[in-house]
Structure 1
Amino acid sequence: MREIVFDTETTGLDPLSGDRLVEIGCVEMVNRCPTGRNFHAWCNPQRDMPMEAERVHGLSSAFLADKPLFGAIAADLLAFLGDSPLVAHNAQFDFGFLNAELAACAHEPISLDRMVDTLAIARRRHPGAKHSLDALCTRYGVDRSHRVKHGALLDAELLAQVYVELTGGRQIGLELAGEVTVTTVEITTFRPRTGGVLRPARPHAATAEELARHAEFLETLKAPLWLN
């Protein structure tokens, strides 16, 4: 199954109040294994970058000034996404910005039916624990030492590893082929060899002497757990 793990960086928290998407990173996975195909783009938000947001992702207005508008990358992005499920951490946030940008350049919104929210999965699996991406990387041993600031593609790559662990671990990725071939195995009834000498079954029960030695050993134990 093909899935896309993605993340966005923005100028703020609310697309309805004028905040814009400035970076998007997507990682393609097939059967929970990264394929090496990614999509990444920075976008000119056509507005200033608040200092609070810049402190999070390090993207300044000067850096973004010569980047394309979202409308210029929308078609390529949609082609990459295809009709695959879209995995994000706190997915309502990322879907909100993505669909706001699509609407602004006259594209149809992406259905929320395609949303897979790893934050919701983490809350179900680890109630009462911390559920940030950093916390989940620590929990599952995902190396994030190179994550100095937030970055859409870097965070999508980290989330892809976390997503695998949240949904069952590495063993689910062993099914690398797109289709599973079912092999019919012929079962042969066991028949003993002829002409050989059958060995008698070996005794496995403890002898009376062994049982007596075991009882003596138990008498030497102080406050055994099975008596508490």
Structure 2
Amino acid sequence: MRQIVLDTETTGLSAENGDRIIEIGCVELVRRKLTGNNKHFYLNPGRNSHEDALKVHGISNEFLKDKPKFSAVVDELLDYLQGAEIIIHNAPFDVSFLNKELEIIGREPLMHCVAKVTDSLMMAKEMFPGKRNSLNALCDRLEVDNSGRTLHGALLDAELLADVYINLTRGQNSLMMDIGSPVQTGESEPLVDLRLFELPVLSASEQEMDAHEKVLLTLDKASRGKTVWRLETREIEKTT
């Protein structure tokens, strides 16, 4: 499945109170690799940004005056997102703004277009409970270079989040082996399915079995015979 890492910048914090999207950045991943097939839009929101929002993204009202309205780019955006998994940091915020923009022009909510929405903030909170899980904090923790991030920008933040997401989910691949062909836009990588091969079963040698038994005896002694595996063995013996 294609994955699209998405971020927005807005005029303020509340879509319901009239704030609008001013920037959308999208980064495509295919089989967890960047393809370079990205999307980036600046949008004329039809209203000024709040002062606090300007301090965050630095996108001036004057700069946005000649940019297209959301309605002018919506078809291109939805075609790009069609059927993909969308990855967003603090997804409820961005999704609420996208849904409001879609509602204003009479379109269906985002979930009618995409396969699913994944909130990377919730993932991070589960992996690092009690720690700061902002994008900057995760970049520092996962050694993702964010030295160029002085202000928030939708495309830059989406690129950083893509690297963060790859690090957060490292090790979650299936039994498929990448044979190293480069990814072309819109193409899947050639893969070898390791499930097609019969893997040999190597039995432990007598020396290895003896060493294993010594470890188990040490555990038995330390736990006074209450190790889980020993208790389960007793239960099995009772029923046979």
TM-score bucket of the superposed structures, by smaller chain: 0.7 to 0.9
Q: Percent identity?
A: 47
Q: CA RMSD in A?
A: 2.4
- What TM-score does the superposition give when structure 1 sets the normalisation length? 0.77
1:170-218 Cα offsets, whole Å, 9 max, x none, are 978964736544454697xxxxxxxxxxxxxxxxxxxxxxxxxxxxxxx
1:186-225 alignment, distance < 5 Å: none
User: Take 2:23 and 2:197, find their aligned partners in 1: how far apart are those partners?
Assistant: 50
SS at the partner of 1:12? Answer: coil
Q: Give the equivalent residue in structure 2 for 1:161.
A: 163
**CA 1:178 to 1:3, structure 2 compared with 1: closer, same or farther past 3 Å?**
farther
User: Take 1:174 and 1:60, find their aligned partners in 2: how far apart are those partners?
Assistant: 47
User: Take 1:93 and 1:101, find their aligned partners in 2: how far apart are those partners?
Assistant: 13
Tell me if structure 2 keeps the 8 A contact 1:122–1:166.
Answer: yes
Q: Give the equivalent residue in structure 2 for 1:73.
A: 73
Tell me if structure 1 keeps the 8 A contact 2:8–2:94.
Answer: yes
Unaligned runs of 5+ in 2: 181-188, 201-240
Q: Give the equivalent residue in structure 1 for 2:32.
A: 32
Unaligned runs of 5+ in 1: 188-228
1:113-164 Cα offsets, whole Å, 9 max, x none, are 7110000000000001110000000001000011110000000000000001
Q: Give the equivalent residue in structure 2 for 1:202.
A: none
**CA 1:178 to 1:116, structure 2 compared with 1: closer, same or farther past 3 Å?**
farther
Q: Give the equivalent residue in structure 2 for 1:123.
A: 125
1:90-105 alignment, distance < 5 Å: 90-105=90-105
Offset of residue 106 of structure 1: 1.6
Tell me if structure 1 keeps the 8 A contact 2:23–2:42.
Answer: yes
Tell me if structure 1 keeps the 8 A contact 2:44–2:64.
Answer: yes
Higher RCO (C-alpha 8 Å, min separation 6): 1
Tell me if structure 1 keeps the 8 A contact 2:40–2:155.
Answer: yes
Q: Give the equivalent residue in structure 1 for 2:142.
A: 140
Tell me if structure 2 keeps the 8 A contact 1:22–1:44.
Answer: yes
SS at the partner of 1:24? Answer: strand
Amino acid at match of 1:35: T
Tell me if structure 1 keeps the 8 A contact 2:6–2:27.
Answer: yes
Q: Give the equivalent residue in structure 2 for 1:111.
A: 111
Tell me if structure 2 keeps the 8 A contact 1:85–1:115.
Answer: yes
Name the larger-Rg structure. Answer: 1
- What TM-score does the superposition give when structure 2 sets the normalisation length? 0.73
User: Take 1:178 and 1:8, find their aligned partners in 2: how far apart are those partners?
Assistant: 33
User: Take 1:186 and 1:16, find their aligned partners in 2: how far apart are those partners?
Assistant: 57
SS at the partner of 1:111? Answer: helix
